[in-house]
A and B are shown apart, each in its own frame.
Chain A
Amino acid sequence: MTALLQATGLEKSFVSRGRTVHAVADVSLALRPGEALGIVGESGCGKTTTARLLLRLEEPSVGRISFDGADITHLRGRALLPYRARAQLVFQNPFDALNPRFTIRRSLTEPLRNFGVPEAEHAARIDAVLHRVRLTPPAAWLERRPHELSGGQLQRVVLARALIPGPTLIVADEPVSMLDVSVRAGILNLLRDARDSLGLAALYISHDLALIRYVCERTIVMYLGRIVEEGPTAELIASPAHPYTRALVAAVPVARVDQDRGPLPIRGSLADAPTQGPGCPFRERCPHAFARCTTDTPALRPIAPGRTAACHLDGVPG
């Protein structure tokens, strides 16, 4: 099947204190229509920058992005408007995502106006989307303002605002990290339902592999701006191939009494990571690094059907 969203060789560099820093290096990925893909990694791994590039909130330094077959890499201004309607972002922080002076009705009307939806359709679209995010009856919510809503209710409005233009892709960057535990599940279930019933493609960005597993069938692991592993989420968690993925999986906290409390298979800290030059970006922290890891940057290569990893080791290290 052809990809809905395809990125090839994306690179984004910034100049910081006279040095060039690659926030994202050589990222290629494809998202099929209706598929949910997760990007997981720690702060600074480039996952949020990748999402911003894919949404064209930033322009890549190198590489190409296409959506539905059309090249959108360098579109600007009004030329991006059709893409904006079809690829929507769900903001991380519901407490500052909405204009505090706008009623819910106005927050939901703005995107309809921006994307040129005929006024006659507004009321029906707003009613439908509020039902979808279970803020019912809609009339009870329309005239409220953000300060009258709880975090979970706000995030439902934020989700409604992303869905109302009728996108084919939603991008959610840490969609529940600001919410209380007891309401997170409700939002995650809504995201899953919206995707299933509307056939949306979804890109989730999170540091939380457990959340990614709940909502994504395929996952990309990033480390220092590069993709180090990609595969079906369940397989990637059950048998992580890249040594960094292994450490990441081992570190995910689980609410179980019986669990492995042994040391993580990782050395040092992010501060020890090499930032420039050839070699594997993970080598200083890798318990399995050998000579070749300091000279050759490992490329992503197939390791099993549907799975790739960027590691010189043969097979899953033991």
Chain B
Amino acid sequence: MSPPATSILEIRGLTVDYVTSVGPVRAVDALDLSVPAGSITSLVGESGCGKSTLGRALMGVLPDRGRITAGEVLFEGQDLQRLSPRARRDIRWRRMSFIPQTAMNALDPVQRLSAQMQEVLIERGGLKRAEAAARAAELFRLVGLEPARLAAYPHQFSGGMRQRASIALALALSPTLVIADEPVTALDVIVQRQVLDVLREMQARLGLSMILITHDMAVVAYASDRVAVMYAGQVVEAGPVAEVLERPLHPYTMGLTHAFPDVHASDMALVPIEGSPPSLLHPPPGCRFAPRCPFADARCMAEPPPMRPFGPDHLVACWHAEDAADLRTRAAEPATWLAATWLPIA
């Protein structure tokens, strides 16, 4: 299937290894993903699925133990792997920026916010001091903060205000792509919603492309246009949010949609996915979800399913995608998942 007409990011066969004392751990394994321009794409999955590693690899800020060992990342047509460290650094902030989970990681606790904004605007962006001050005020207004609060230190802000400030910082040099790693996870629900609204508004108003890394399907549903579901270092399903949520093709996605409560549903039965994700040190030979999948057969255990198109714009890596409609019905039954009681308990 051809990627969407204009994609800002093309990831092909990307592999990231971590060096550990017990051998290399493949956190991201031959991952393909296309991120269309001008929309919000979510990467959703559980801890250890590789979503944050992928985000860091895209930003070029992997920890020392992490290495990209294969694959390429085309950003606006340019292969990031082939750039010099200097060229790579120039892209950061100016064309691609990052919003971390805890704003405290983006903000310097001993500097006033005005100084932090100026550092980016003047040193990275080449603005003059007066221009930088005006731009900083504009950015604060944009994310719903009083420009007068630029004089504050990060600790004088609430969690929500700090996250707004780190969004302002990420937008400082008008990047085309913003990568946000769990930007609302540490926040209370009301603040969470307000910060997601800021992100959505910025995306729409500035025509940004955004990658939203999250573990929460509800955040995906609220804020994104497209979603890629990750499991054990691979994308197992990708497509428009409405498609993936309403007609999931992969049993893991089906499981996730029944795994946590809906505030408006009376009498719902939560269905846990038994077992836990595989060790990335010794992943299973076939489909990585097969050991937890109630629909897995011998082929699933032996052969990894390739990612293939299914319907317009919807991709899945499952040998049984043809039967997805039937599997969705069965996946809604708790008994289907409980049947796999030979599994070790999660």
**A43 touches which one: B161, B188, B218, B273 (CB < 8 A)?**
B188
State the Cβ distance, A289 to closest chain B Cβ, in Å. 17
A210 within 8 A of B: yes
Contact-residue bracket for chain A: 35 or more
Please judge, given known A-B contacts A43-B188, A266-B190, whether A254 and B260 are in contact too, CB under 8 Å: no
State the Cβ distance, B13 to closest chain A Cβ, in Å. 27
The answer to whether A42 touches B189 (Cβ under 8 A) is yes
The answer to whether A257 touches B194 (Cβ under 8 A) is no
8 A Cβ contacts from A249-282 to B:
249-257, 259, 261, 263-264, 266, 269-271
Question: How long is the Cα–Cα vector from A257 to B190 in the complex, in angstroms?
Answer: 19
| Per-position binary interface string of chain B over residues 52-74, scored 1 when its CB falls under 8 Å from any chain A CB and 0 otherwise | 00000000000000000000000
State the Cβ distance, B255 to closest chain A Cβ, in Å. 7
**A237 touches which one: B188, B220, B245, B263 (CB < 8 A)?**
B263
Question: How long is the Cα–Cα vector from A211 to B161 in the complex, in angstroms?
Answer: 26
The answer to whether A189 touches B272 (Cβ under 8 A) is yes
Please judge, given known A-B contacts A214-B268, A269-B160, whether A207 and B188 are in contact too, CB under 8 Å: yes
Question: How long is the Cα–Cα vector from A252 to B193 in the complex, in angstroms?
Answer: 8
Question: How long is the Cα–Cα vector from A153 to B160 in the complex, in angstroms?
Answer: 33
The answer to whether A181 touches B261 (Cβ under 8 A) is no
State the Cβ distance, B164 to closest chain A Cβ, in Å. 10
The answer to whether A152 touches B276 (Cβ under 8 A) is yes
Question: How long is the Cα–Cα vector from A184 to B273 in the complex, in angstroms?
Answer: 9
Chain B residues closer than 8 Å to A185, beta-carbon distance: 258-260, 270-273
B217 within 8 A of A: yes
**A255 touches which one: B190, B215, B221, B271 (CB < 8 A)?**
B221
Question: How long is the Cα–Cα vector from A254 to B268 in the complex, in angstroms?
Answer: 14
A2 within 8 A of B: no
The answer to whether A254 touches B190 (Cβ under 8 A) is no
Please judge, given known A-B contacts A135-B345, A266-B190, whether A257 and B246 are in contact too, CB under 8 Å: yes
Task: Output the nearest chain B residue to A257 by Cβ-Cβ distance.
Answer: B242
Task: Output the nearest chain B residue to A190 by Cβ-Cβ distance.
Answer: B272
State the Cβ distance, B200 to closest chain A Cβ, in Å. 8
Question: How long is the Cα–Cα vector from A133 to B345 in the complex, in angstroms?
Answer: 10
The answer to whether B256 touches A182 (Cβ under 8 A) is yes
**B221 touches which one: A183, A257, A263 (CB < 8 A)?**
A257
The answer to whether A259 touches B222 (Cβ under 8 A) is yes
B86 within 8 A of A: no
Task: Output the nearest chain A residue to B266 by Cβ-Cβ distance.
Answer: A234
Chain B residues closer than 8 Å to A174, beta-carbon distance: none
Please judge, given known A-B contacts A182-B46, A183-B276, whether A42 and B190 are in contact too, CB under 8 Å: yes
Chain B residues closer than 8 Å to A237, beta-carbon distance: 263-264
**B47 touches which one: A153, A180, A247, A259 (CB < 8 A)?**
A180
8 A Cβ contacts from A154-200 to B:
156, 180-186, 188-189
The answer to whether A248 touches B189 (Cβ under 8 A) is yes
Chain A residues closer than 8 Å to B273, beta-carbon distance: 182-183, 185
Please judge, given known A-B contacts A150-B346, A185-B270, A189-B272, whether A251 and B245 are in contact too, CB under 8 Å: no
Question: How long is the Cα–Cα vector from A239 to B132 in the complex, in angstroms?
Answer: 48
Chain A residues closer than 8 Å to B191, beta-carbon distance: 42, 269
Question: How long is the Cα–Cα vector from A169 to B263 in the complex, in angstroms?
Answer: 25
State the Cβ distance, A180 to closest chain B Cβ, in Å. 4
Chain A residues closer than 8 Å to B274, beta-carbon distance: 186
The answer to whether B261 touches A214 (Cβ under 8 A) is yes
Chain B residues closer than 8 Å to A202, beta-carbon distance: none
B216 within 8 A of A: yes
Question: How long is the Cα–Cα vector from A152 to B268 in the complex, in angstroms?
Answer: 21
Contact-residue bracket for chain B: 35 or more
Most chain A beta-carbon neighbours within 10 Å: one of B266, B274, B346 = B346
B241 within 8 A of A: yes
| Per-position binary interface string of chain B over residues 138-156, scored 1 when its CB falls under 8 Å from any chain A CB and 0 otherwise | 0000000000000000000
Chain B residues closer than 8 Å to A252, beta-carbon distance: 189, 263
The answer to whether B345 touches A255 (Cβ under 8 A) is no
Chain A residues closer than 8 Å to B259, beta-carbon distance: 181-182, 184-185
The answer to whether A255 touches B217 (Cβ under 8 A) is yes
8 A Cβ contacts from B28-64 to A:
46-47
Please judge, given known A-B contacts A185-B272, A214-B261, whether A42 and B46 are in contact too, CB under 8 Å: no
Question: How long is the Cα–Cα vector from A150 to B257 in the complex, in angstroms?
Answer: 22
Question: How long is the Cα–Cα vector from A209 to B193 in the complex, in angstroms?
Answer: 14
Most chain B beta-carbon neighbours within 10 Å: one of A188, A256, A261, A270 = A256
Question: How long is the Cα–Cα vector from A134 to B257 in the complex, in angstroms?
Answer: 23
A208 within 8 A of B: yes
Most chain A beta-carbon neighbours within 10 Å: one of B258, B261, B262, B268 = B261
Question: How long is the Cα–Cα vector from A59 to B215 in the complex, in angstroms?
Answer: 38
The answer to whether B220 touches A255 (Cβ under 8 A) is yes
Question: How long is the Cα–Cα vector from A184 to B268 in the complex, in angstroms?
Answer: 15
Most chain B beta-carbon neighbours within 10 Å: one of A182, A185, A251, A261 = A182
Chain A residues closer than 8 Å to B258, beta-carbon distance: 185
| Per-position binary interface string of chain A over residues 52-71, scored 1 when its CB falls under 8 Å from any chain B CB and 0 otherwise | 00000000000000000000
The answer to whether A253 touches B219 (Cβ under 8 A) is yes
| Per-position binary interface string of chain B over residues 261-287, scored 1 when its CB falls under 8 Å from any chain A CB and 0 otherwise | 111101010111110100000000000
A213 within 8 A of B: yes
The answer to whether A134 touches B161 (Cβ under 8 A) is no
Question: How long is the Cα–Cα vector from A210 to B260 in the complex, in angstroms?
Answer: 8
Question: How long is the Cα–Cα vector from A135 to B67 in the complex, in angstroms?
Answer: 38
B116 within 8 A of A: no
Given known contacts A150-B346, A253-B221, A257-B221, what 5 new A-B pairs fall within 8 Å (CB)? Answer: A184-B270, A213-B263, A214-B268, A249-B263, A251-B193
Residues in chain B within 8 A of chain A (CB atoms): 46-47, 158, 160-161, 188-194, 197, 200, 215-222, 241-242, 245-246, 255-264, 266, 268, 270-274, 276, 345-346
A-B CB proximity, top 3 nearest: A253-B218, A186-B272, A185-B270
Q: Can you report 14 A-B residue pairs in the complex whose CB atoms are below 8 A from each other?
A: A135-B345, A156-B345, A180-B47, A181-B259, A182-B346, A183-B346, A184-B259, A208-B189, A248-B189, A253-B192, A254-B263, A256-B262, A264-B194, A269-B158
